[in-house]
Structure 1
């Protein structure tokens, strides 16, 4: 994989994450598609990218779980030797069944943890992109309605 960037995209099995994976793969990057539960959806996306001439792999992990997040980053680093771009796309926690602290655990704590874990594996010139979170959207909505 020398010469192409290694890009990890959290929450990439659908939506903005999936489209980001497609665009970056088209540009020549190897994309690692992170998913929490949707393995079939993530695999279909990776297969689609490969059929279109790109390179992609999948990595299941619940980024809100410290051990799972650590395994995700160390797995990418072990497989590719580095991480050039980290796209923090996964968000959520506002679902009815989510526990009271889950939104902050996912949208704030998990993001910060991934950055701390990833930075030692990121060479000079690497990038971290924080897309958004449900929590930010919820705050914008409640502020604009006041």
Structure 2
């Protein structure tokens, strides 16, 4: 993968921490110029960008609230203007809100925001990016094992991720004639500061791998899908879940 993305520009939403930061680093290692977004983690975003720049990599961080569609569309245009092109779009930003449907204290505003971040903004950003992506372009959606199976009260989250995966299958057909691939990476329990530890500990005994995943393992998969050797891979769902949905 060394230098496989040289001359390319990648945008990683939610790229300041956790899985997003690992993806940004890995794409940079493969030679890409990297733009990443953040909402509140300005210090982490700045530190990551500074580190990449010290290695001679073109990088920039953009603050954008993924729940606001006007900001999402503006963001894509700003990235393309700053770097002169856009080749890889990684939809990693996500909101995670739990709660059963019949909870009398259910926060409907939070649930609506979750859907806006996890689903609507992805469609908005993809539409905005379509005019910049050319032959060899890559769209990569970060989903969750909950889209297939879960026994936790995360119905809204799971439904949103299932919708995201449906988008990926449809867009593979829509963008394929232009030489653009669209793929989904479905994550299980990945060891980041955003992980629900109680839930993760509960499922570990049932996992064939008996361990949490590492952000770097996700990043390597994304780098493959973003690279030239994955040019005939589209409309697929790659599970990185330690066998959770096997």
Matched, 1:18 2:21: yes
2: distance between equivalents of 1:118 and 1:138?
25
Contact in 2 for aligned 1:35/1:61 (Cα 8 Å): yes
Of 41-50 and 52-61, deviating more is 52-61
- Aligned equivalents of 1:132, 1:90: Cα separation in 2: 10
- Residues 1:137 and 2:146 are matched in the alignment: yes
Q: Which has the greater radius of gyration?
A: 2
Q: In structure 2, what is the equivalent of residue 39 of structure 1?
A: 42
User: Counterpart of 1:105 in 2: which secondary structure?
Assistant: helix
Aligned equivalents of 2:138, 2:122: Cα separation in 1: 14
TM-score normalised per structure 2: 0.52
**Consecutive aligned runs of 4 or more in structure 1 exceeding 4 Å deviation:** 95-98
Q: What is the alpha-carbon distance in structure 1 between the residues aligned to residue 53 and residue 81 of structure 2?
A: 22
- In structure 1, the residue matched to 2:129 is 118
CA shift for structure 1 position 12: 0.4
RMSD: 2.1
| CA-to-aligned-CA distance 1:36-84 (integer Å, 9 cap, x gap) | 1211110101111222333311111112201111110110122222210
In structure 2, the partner of 1:63 is 66
User: What runs of 5+ residues in structure 1 fail to find an aligned partner?
Assistant: none
Q: What are the superposed Cα offsets for residues 99-136 of structure 1, whole Å, 9 maximum, x if unpaired? A: 23122111111111111111111121110000125xx6
Residue 30 of structure 2 corresponds to which residue in structure 1? 27
Distance, in Å, in 1 between the alignment partners of 2:97 and 2:28 is 31
**2:28, 2:34 within 8 Å by CA — same for their partners in 1?**
yes
**Structure 2 unmatched runs, 5+:** 1-5, 100-106, 153-246
Number of residue pairs matched by the alignment? 139
Structure with the larger RCO, 1 or 2 (CA within 8 Å, 6+ apart): 1
Following TM superposition, by how much is the alpha carbon of 1:24 offset from its aligned partner in structure 2, in angstroms?
A: 0.9
Q: In 2, are the aligned partners of 1:87 and 1:131 still within 8 Å (CA)?
A: yes
Match of 1:105 in 2: 116
Q: 2: CA distance between counterparts of 1:82 and 1:20?
A: 19
Name 1:75's counterpart in structure 2: 78
User: What's the secondary structure of 1:77's corresponding residue?
Assistant: helix
Q: Secondary structure at 2:151's aligned position in 1? A: helix
